[in-house]
A and B are shown apart, each in its own frame.
Chain A
Amino acid sequence: MEYFIQQLVNGLTLGSIYGLIAIGYTMVYGIIGMINFAHGDIFMLGGFAALIIFLVLTSVFVGLPTVLLLLLMMAAAMLTAALWNWTIEKVAYRPLRGSFRLAPLITAIGMSITLSNFVQVTQGPRNKPIPPLVSSVYNVFGISISLKQIVIVVLTTVLLTVFWYVVNKTALGRAQRATEQDRKMAALLGIDVDRTISITFIMGAGLAAVAGTMYLMYYGVVVFTDGFIPGVKAFTAAVLGGIGSLPGAVIGGLLIGLIESLWSAYFTIDYKDVATFSILAIVLIFKPSGIFGRPEVEKV
């Protein structure tokens, strides 16, 4: 029983990270109807930016408080990821808006490869380690919960609350939802659709960057291929939850995290990724619209 609960805690942590990344996939899909395959690499870039700023800060200043360090890492990650995602949308996706459906998809895959190769060339192909930042571990009724895990779950909860508020209660969120539901009409009402789409890419990148920072902190390493596996898992989470649905992305993320850690605990860890991707295949076959999904809406 304790072992099981331990795996739930681990799964929840991992699921938080996947959920944060999944939101970026689902938001972009909702608003322009394309899968931003480069989103996983945006997450990875966030991790690298966090690492670089960490190395710079710790070599210049001695004894910076960990909280401040983490905040600065996240800020650097968000800034870098947002800038990249904003640029990618502007130069690679926007000119293809309104062309045939496969064009932006192919471009997105191209962007993904470009980003990971760029990082491989500039940062090297090896794992980049970071010393443990937060290492306390608490024992609660025989279950060990690390401070890292608490930070991840709390931070995710806070971010999701802010994010929920923005999307549902602010003028920006209304403009995003309007653009998602009827872009032409939104423009007729004075909404700058291009700007709204740009902001959506920036927001998605910001959340992915926080996820990237936490991933780095959790596992202690980052490598240029990190955009791929966690990226595809988060994408699976978005599909499982129902692509286009924000609560779906979060629930899907948590489910994938739980499945992954339970699978690793009770079956063989070597096949944990296979388990996740089998789920993707099964969902796509039997319920392509996912848990909260609507029937497919074509975007033009």
Chain B
Amino acid sequence: MSDTLLSVRGVETYYGNIRALAGVDIDVKRGEIACLIGANGAGKSTLMMTICGDPQARAGTITFEGEDITRLPTHRIARLRIAQSPEGRRIFPRMTVYENLQMGASLDNLKYFDEDVEKIFTLFPRLKERQAQRGGTLSGGEQQMLSIGRALMARPKLLLLDEPSLGLAPLIVKQIFDAIKILNKEQGLTVFLVEQNAFAALKLSNRGYVMVNGKVTMSGTGMELLANPEVRAAYLEGGRH
């Protein structure tokens, strides 16, 4: 058995008649951090959601641990331990921080909740202070931490993060990227992340992909892409570092 955890092959996704993904190939290996960079509207979020079956791919296949998940409904995909912190964070606004975390632990019926929630509170102490507060009243940074924390509560084998740094102050971005690094190093968590903050993301990642107009145009190790002149010109120089 190979060490490929997630494999995306020739995936096409449509919104109505508009093709947002035009044949995407991506591999994420067990234990690595992979990232996907690309301009606004390239189709990055669409890929993240297509992996989770919402919307479903119209063509191509997605396999997870060797199993074809292309046609599975979203909740069944989640039950295979693919957790996502989606674009826009999608915190349940009228649930408390604590309840949002409980929702993350739905898969195991809260079996490991007490133990896991302590880990989340160690990772993001801010959430502990805010646990009784309603999700909708959190700041952007706190919501991002909650969104990641909630995804982690599912004990994922694969963690999908869609722009965890979007709209956050540099200090909080650093805190979140540090947290991702720790989870990967210490627990061997596999992470697939989408970022506009290309520099930080590529530095963190073992493998990177560049998406343009619904297609992957370049791939390589994080270091290779960082050194690539085209990538530098398009996503790094003059971009947000």
Contact = CB atoms under 8 A, between A and B. Distances in A.
A and B are interacting partners: yes
B90 interface: yes
Contacts of A189: 78, 83, 103-104, 106-107, 150, 154
Contact of A191 (B52, B75, B86, B150): B75
B79 A190 contact: yes
Contact of B84 (A175, A188, A192): A188
Contacts, number: 62
B94 A181 contact: yes
Nearest to B52: A188
B93 A181 contact: yes
Interface string B104-117: 10110110000000
Contact of B86 (A181, A185, A190): A185
A299 interface: no
B95 A181 contact: yes
A178 B90 CA distance: 11
Contact of A188 (B74, B94, B95): B74
Contacts of B52: 188
Given A184-B54, A185-B86, A190 B94 contact: no
Contacts of A191: 75, 103, 106
B148 to A, nearest CB: 13
Nearest to A184: B54
Interface in B70-112: 73-75, 78-79, 83-84, 86, 90, 92-95, 99, 102-104, 106-107, 109-110
B90 A187 contact: no
A174 interface: yes
A127 B164 CA distance: 64
A181 B92 contact: yes
Interface in B124-181: 150, 154
A171 interface: yes
A175 B78 CA distance: 15
Interface in A36-80: none
A174 B104 CA distance: 11
Interface residues of A, number: 17
A193 interface: yes
A177 interface: yes
Given A171-B110, A174-B102, A185 B90 contact: yes
A187 to B, nearest CB: 4
A177 B99 CA distance: 10
A186 B79 CA distance: 12
Given A187-B78, A189-B78, A190-B154, A174 B90 contact: no
B90 A177 contact: no
A188 B86 contact: yes
Given A187-B54, A189-B78, A171 B150 contact: no
B42 to A, nearest CB: 21
Contacts of B106: 171, 174-175, 189-191
Interface hub of A181, A189, A191 (most chain B Cβ within 10 A): A189
Interface in A235-284: none
A31 to B, nearest CB: 13
Contact of A190 (B54, B92, B107): B107
Contacts of B109: 171
Interface string A176-208: 011001101111111111000000000000000
Interface of A: 171, 174-175, 177-178, 181-182, 184-193
10 A-B pairs with least C-beta separation: A190-B78, A187-B74, A185-B90, A181-B92, A190-B107, A187-B75, A192-B75, A190-B79, A190-B75, A178-B103
9 contacts: A174-B99, A174-B102, A174-B106, A178-B95, A187-B54, A187-B75, A188-B84, A189-B154, A190-B75
